[in-house]
Amino acid sequence: MVGSRTQRMRRMREWPREGRAVRDTRTDAPADAENAARFATVVVIGAGQAGLSAGYHLARRGFASALDAPDGARTFVMLDANPAPGGAWQHRWASLRMATVNGIFDLPDHPKPATAPEVSSRDAVPAYFGEFERETRLPILRPVTVRAVTRLDDDADGDLLVDTDADPWRTRAIVNATGTWNAPRLPRYPGQETFAGRQLHTRDYVSAAEFAGQRVAVVGGGISAVQLLEEISRVAATHWYTRREPVFRDGGFRPEVEGREVIARVTADAEAGLPGRSIVSYTGLAWTPYAVAARERGALERRPMFTALEPGGVREADGTFTPVDAILWATGFQPDLRHLDPLTLRNELGGIALRGTRVAAEPRVHLIGYGPSQSTVGANRAGRDAARALAQRFSAAPAPETQTTPGRS
């Protein structure tokens, strides 16, 4: 350890700034928050699959807990808005069983336990994540909601301030792993406010029993839309609406072939700073057992998007009227990055250009579980890659990985 954190911060402020890139996007942070802030070299925001992977690999590369060693040379803390382990899985609908989830990849060095296929994913996955946290003893604070991340000055290598509903934190770098669950994508259509029935998004769905005997419009062309369409069509009359004709894959999906091709395409889009798209828009839909069941029941008869909502139903593209009692917007999610808005990371296209996990326009910020790392296997790899990059940044040489698992003796 080289001096106290206060001494290190003073020395950093005294370094000559000639030749440094200066940003003209300074956001003044409240002086009281800055003075009261705790410090961690790295703040990880989120503790789902991506965040846990990042925390694990930071610990393996020698970053100490900012809670246990606040004056350590390299420290990290993790801030999670959820009340318990499990990320977004703890909020999913009860009927989403382990047999139907779209794959859960092992957390680093911690294989998933054997789980019966009929067990609800909102029970099994949080239990698995919780066991991982207990074994690794990562420095996670919860529930803590991050409200905003701002620059403390115009120094391109200066500190960032993480404002939360608890203690504020000063940090040298951010690893953002907030996922998408709290940012549902809700399209707008004429007359939407006049519809007399119920409207809900996927994140609000509980069970098909709520719709028994009703006429239900299911909107969306992704995996969740097909899952919920199949489920609701068992007890209700359903109509399926999508903007584009859904594409179902007739062949298999080999991770080492088609998987690599998809990752290459998504990575190219992320590096170009294009706005994010759903993974299914790259992969297409698979003929899973629930998709086959929906087809055999006649529920996969897709209609083009309606043009407007009316009090009793929807106005079809051909001008006819279809009465419906409820509309389920299975229209997906978008990255939950509102707390990063003060950093103005988005380009004129509305996207964020990445170089690996690092934001091209703001190297102090890493995005994981975003773009090419949206899948659980991608999230694991992104957490590892972000930790490697940060170890290199905050060390004269890349820190070697220890041979023991974090938190284990």
Return the minimum-mean-pLDDT range out of 103-107, 295-299, 325-329, 401-405: 401-405
| Rg of the chain in Å (alpha carbons) | 23
Spatial separation of the C-alpha atoms in residues 20 and 164, rounded to whole Å: 30
How would residue 92 be classed by pLDDT, with cut points 50, 70 and 90? very high
Kindly provide the residue ranges of all beta strands, DSSP E only, lying in 8-73, ordered along the sequence.
Answer: 38-45, 64-65
Question: What separation in angstroms does the CA of 405 have from each of 87, 135, 284, 401?
Answer: 22, 9, 38, 10
Q: What is the pLDDT of residue 114?
A: 87
Return the minimum-mean-pLDDT range out of 113-117, 220-224, 240-244: 113-117
Tell me the CATH number for domain 192-247+284-329: 3.50.50.60
Return the minimum-mean-pLDDT range out of 92-101, 278-287, 307-316, 395-404: 395-404
Average pLDDT for residues 252-269, to the nearest whole number?
76
| pLDDT of 288 strictly over 70 | yes
**CATH fold of 5-182+334-393, please?**
FAD/NAD(P)-binding domain (3.50.50)
Domain ranges (residues) in the chain: 5-182+334-393, 192-247+284-329
pLDDT digits (tens, 9 = 90+) for 154-203: 999 999 999 999 999 999 999 999 999 999 999 999 999 999 999 999 99
Pick the closest to residue 59 from 128, 51, 125 (CA basis): 51
Q: What is the residue-averaged pLDDT of the chain?
A: 87
| pLDDT of 54 strictly over 70 | yes
| pLDDT of 407 strictly over 70 | no
The bridge status of strand 308-310 relative to strand 313-315 is: antiparallel
pLDDT digits (tens, 9 = 90+) for 13-50: 332 223 323 233 334 455 566 667 899 999 999 999 99
Q: What is the pLDDT of residue 401?
A: 52
Q: What is the pLDDT of residue 367?
A: 96
How would residue 103 be classed by pLDDT, with cut points 50, 70 and 90? low
Is the model more confident about 262 or about 116? 116
Amino acid present at 95: S
Kindly provide the residue ranges of all beta strands, DSSP E only, lying in 112-245, ordered along the sequence.
Answer: 140-141, 146-151, 160-164, 169-176, 198-201, 215-219, 237-242
Average pLDDT for residues 69-77, to the nearest whole number?
95
The DSSP result for 241-272, as a single string, is EESS---EESS---IIIIIHHHHHHHHHHHHT
